[in-house]
Amino acid sequence: MKLWRPVAETVWQGRDDSAEAGNAQRIFQTLRQQKQFIPMPSGIALIGFECDEGVKRNHGRPGAAQAPDVLRRALANMASHPGHERLIDMGSVYAEGDDLEAAQQALSDAVVTCQQSGMRTLVFGGGHETAWAHGRGVLDAFPHERVMVINLDAHFDLRKADRATSGTPFRQLAHHCTENAREFHYACLGVSRAANTQALWDEATRLNVTLVEDLYFRREALTSLEKVLAQADRLYLTIDLDVLPAGEMPAVSAPAALGIPALDLLPVIERICRSGKLQAADLVEFNPHYDRDGQGAKLAARLAWQIAHWWA
């Protein structure tokens, strides 16, 4: 496996309450770690993507390459409940220098291998360039099915650029679908009109993107989601953590001026997880350099905790 490494055992540590009761366990005690990249026939493959070259190219604040292990440490000490025993740490894919494209190809290959073995994938990015690699892997693993991409994000990330960045992943996925004679199904929920130019809005219209603006998220998101779920065979959920308010999530490249509070996002995430169609999910753009007292890491890890807990 190219551009891959296992996770150090010291990352998964926490408080040991086993003397209290047999089921007084935490994630670090129930999660399985793979020392070689050998997918299992079932379970949730947790994969890190140590890369922020796309953020750099998009003129953002670098630092997300350090996120995967920080998020693992934040998740490690959380309580383990039914569903969490399915988590299997499959290690991390990393970028070598500024070679974003090679890292993305390595992640896509890893996702295809895991998905085709019977696993689902949960990826800790990395910048939102993660989505081109992760989404392509899911599309390639299921070439004859309707895969709906659901992006919880303040941004469409449909930018036109000479090379891949953290702002281009969904345009790239759209092109990939066109090249493979399949429809591109994309929903962006929580998008901010103030954070996207008219050109990006026009591109979203051209691609027939299902969208819900941040101002109307609480009122419209679940209704729009039901229409999306009805159309999909499988779902790929990507959560750009800058969809959250800056007060809740300061540790991102582009903190949100408004944002969607976590308590409003969670019912949407739960519905997606319990739909029975969720095949892949990721959390991206977490930047440890700008975190405050681990606040952002804990919130991102809690979202990952809920996804694993609710994943039907």
What is the band of 278 on the pLDDT scale with cuts at 50, 70, 90? very high
Q: What is the mean pLDDT of residues 167-182?
A: 98
Q: ∠ at Cα 78 (75, 84), nearest 5°?
A: 80
Bridge-based pairing of strands 147-152 and 44-50 is unpaired
Helices 295-310 and 67-76 pack at an angle, to 10 degrees, of: 70
Task: Check whether 243 has a pLDDT greater than 90.
Answer: yes
CA separation for the pair 209, 7 (Å, rounded): 37
Q: What is the mean pLDDT of residues 269-294?
A: 97
Average pLDDT, the chain: 97
Model pLDDT for residues 126-144, shown as the tens digit of each residue: 999 999 999 999 999 999 9
Q: What is the pLDDT of residue 1?
A: 81
Task: Check whether 10 has a pLDDT greater than 90.
Answer: yes
CA separation for the pair 71, 76 (Å, rounded): 8
Model pLDDT for residues 46-75, shown as the tens digit of each residue: 999 999 999 999 999 999 999 999 999 999
Give the dihedral of Cα atoms 301, 191, 168, 239; nearest 10 deg: 20
Q: What domains can you pick out in the chain, each with its CATH number?
A: 4-310 (3.40.800.10)
Burial of 119 (0-12, 13-18, 19+ CB in 10 A): buried
Q: What is the pLDDT of residue 102?
A: 97
Model pLDDT for residues 72-108, shown as the tens digit of each residue: 999 999 999 999 999 999 999 999 999 999 999 999 9
The amino acid at 250: P
Cβ–Cβ under 8 Å, residues 262 and 299: yes
Task: Check whether 22 has a pLDDT greater than 90.
Answer: no
